Amino acid sequence: MSSGYLVVSLLCFWGFWVVGLFLLMRFKDMKLTSRLSYLAATILLLVGTGFFFMKSGFVQKDIVMSKEEFRHELEKSFEDGIKEGAKMKSDYTTIEKEAKIGESIELDSGLAVDVKEVVDHYAESGQVVVDFTIANNTVHHQRFTGYDFSLYDGEGHKGRVTEELFYSETVAPGKKSSGQVVFQTENAGPYEVHFEKNTWSSEK
């Protein structure tokens, strides 16, 4: 029982006996109707005090049960979060697929990506243009930008996506979209184009 319930209970208990002793001292001088009223009041006080103690106990029990249930739900939510995190990690680390430039790769997510051509302008401007098509075979709209692609040159350096011909589109379910991404590179090819964990190579 909490300290608040204990204080109130003690006050009710001692208050009942103080009033009871006072009335008992005057009981013999009371009239019959007053005596009956006193007895009725005494019974009501006894019943009320007993009910209060019982109610206090039940309330405390409910509070304790609620805390236990809350702890149980918290532990369950934590375990569910770990399982969901493991599932997301498993979904993310899908098997990497490789293809040559001009070939399409079917992704586990339902997308199909085709890196159709890599146009090498490194000798003139240090830029490489990637020409691609994305097929959205899912049931949801999908958003894509040029930053979804990465390009690595012949020395393994990652190219920088430029704002030139910048691609940014939302593709409807069952539809396709074609575009180009322009990369600024440090070295010549052969080049590798990456989309998520999939790779297209220009090496013959």
Q: What is the pLDDT of residue 180?
A: 94
Q: What is the pLDDT of residue 58?
A: 46
Judge if 56 and 150 occupy the same domain.
Answer: no
Judge if 115 and 43 occupy the same domain.
Answer: no
Q: What is the pLDDT of residue 149?
A: 94
Residue that finishes a domain, picked among 69, 92, 115: 92
51 pLDDT higher than 70: no
Q: For residues 84 and 173, what is the distance between their CA atoms, to the nearest angstrom?
A: 26
Spatial contact of 99 and 203, defined as CB atoms under 8 Å apart: no
pTM listed for this prediction: 0.51
What confidence tier does 89 reach under pLDDT thresholds 50, 70, 90?
A: very low
Domain count, the chain: 2
Q: For residues 151 and 191, what is the distance between their CA atoms, to the nearest angstrom?
A: 7
Judge if 119 and 194 occupy the same domain.
Answer: yes
Q: For residues 132 and 176, what is the distance between their CA atoms, to the nearest angstrom?
A: 11
Residue that finishes a domain, picked among 62, 92, 122: 92
Range of the domain at 162: 98-201
Q: What is the pLDDT of residue 17?
A: 61
Residue that finishes a domain, picked among 35, 62, 92: 92
Judge if 102 and 24 occupy the same domain.
Answer: no
Judge if 109 and 196 occupy the same domain.
Answer: yes
What confidence tier does 112 reach under pLDDT thresholds 50, 70, 90?
A: very high
Judge if 88 and 145 occupy the same domain.
Answer: no
What confidence tier does 122 reach under pLDDT thresholds 50, 70, 90?
A: confident
Judge if 178 and 88 occupy the same domain.
Answer: no
Q: What is the pLDDT of residue 10?
A: 61
Judge if 18 and 55 occupy the same domain.
Answer: yes
Judge if 54 and 128 occupy the same domain.
Answer: no
Q: Which two tokens stand for residue 33?
A: 């109707």
CATH number of the domain bearing residue 104 = 2.60.40.1240
Q: For residues 178 and 161, what is the distance between their CA atoms, to the nearest angstrom?
A: 17
Out of 53-57, 106-110, 160-164, 186-190, pick the least confident.
53-57
Q: What is the pLDDT of residue 6?
A: 56
Q: What is the pLDDT of residue 62?
A: 47
Per residue in 138-187, pLDDT (tens digit) is: 999 999 999 999 999 999 999 999 988 889 999 999 999 999 999 999 99
